[in-house]
Amino acid sequence: MRRHCALATLLRRSGACLILAVLLCPMLPSLAQDSLPRIRFVRDPDPAPTFQLKDVEGKELKLEAFRGKVVLLNFWATWCGPCRAEIPSLVELQKRYKDGLQVIGLAVDEENEGYVRSFAGTQGINYPVAMGTPDVRIAYGGVGALPTVFVIDTEGRIVQKHVGLFNPVLYETEVRALLQLPVTVKVETFQDQGEIFLKNAERATTLPGVDFSKLSSEQRAVALHKFNAESCSCGCQFTLAQCRIYDHACQISQQRTAAIVEEIASSKETKAEPAASQATKPASPKP
């Protein structure tokens, strides 16, 4: 009798475990996805600005020639420590994914082309290097820090931008994902609000260093409109919104945007709203 009870208990527990497993199975892929690291690509990306240059070896260098490959467009300089540090990883990536990847180095050195060519040779650079002209730099948003890498997909669209020294594993993962090779990450998309192209700053709902906490949603919209309509006087030739994205340290755009926020928060129209709303209330009936 005891054996029969023990067996019945075991069967009940086993059945409960089986039911639990059946219920959890559909959730496992979702749980696994949530625990994965993430990479992000632009949703509905803009085309990469085209260019036609001569590399330091005198060969023609056209971005269009690499359509169908993933391109890592690297703005760098010989004097830039982080730029020099990432060269070996870019060389290795070019070796490993030569059939689907093209690294391009655009040097923004003040040194002459001969010095850059010699430097590239001593570093064993195995990808094209050209001098990044001012026109190209402006076309890509004015490249304000080095290194800056634009990730361009096989259709010639900019899907990500990295400023500063990054882990080469990130670049490799992005390249593999864009080449539709297996990756153990979750791929997410985002709308460009000026992070890639400054012209898209008008889409932004927040800006670096700007405190919107005093404003209502309507007032925030007014402030953002002003930020996108008014030019910054620091000499950058950008709007206030673009300058806040491009140069977080700019005191002029930070002070001006703060002043605009304060003006809107303390405007007469805003203060008059409560009084106006009271004036519209129906008068209390006389007793």
25 an active-site residue? Answer: no
Q: Among the options 5, 17, 25, 83, which is catalytic? A: 83
Count CB neighbours of 144 within 10 A. 13
236 an active-site residue? Answer: no
SS (H, E, C) the chain: CHHHHHHHHHHHHHHHHHHHHHHHHHHHHHHHHHCCCEEEEECCCCECCCCEEEECCCCEEEHHHHCCCEEEEEEECCCCHHHHHHHHHHHHHHHHCCCCEEEEEEECCCCCHHHHHHHHHHCCCCCCEEECCHHHHHHCCCCCCCCEEEEECCCCEEEEEEECCCCHHHHHHHHHHHCCCCCCCEEEEECCCCCCCHHHHHHCCCCCCCCCCCCCHHHHHHHHHHHHHCECCCCCCCEHHHHHHHCCCCHHHHHHHHHHHHHHHCCHHHHHHHHHHHHCCCCCCCC
User: Tokens in use for 106?
Assistant: 């655009």
Q: Among the options 5, 17, 25, 80, which is catalytic? A: 80
For β-strands 70-76 and 60-62, DSSP reports them as: unpaired
Task: Report the catalytic residues.
Answer: 80, 83
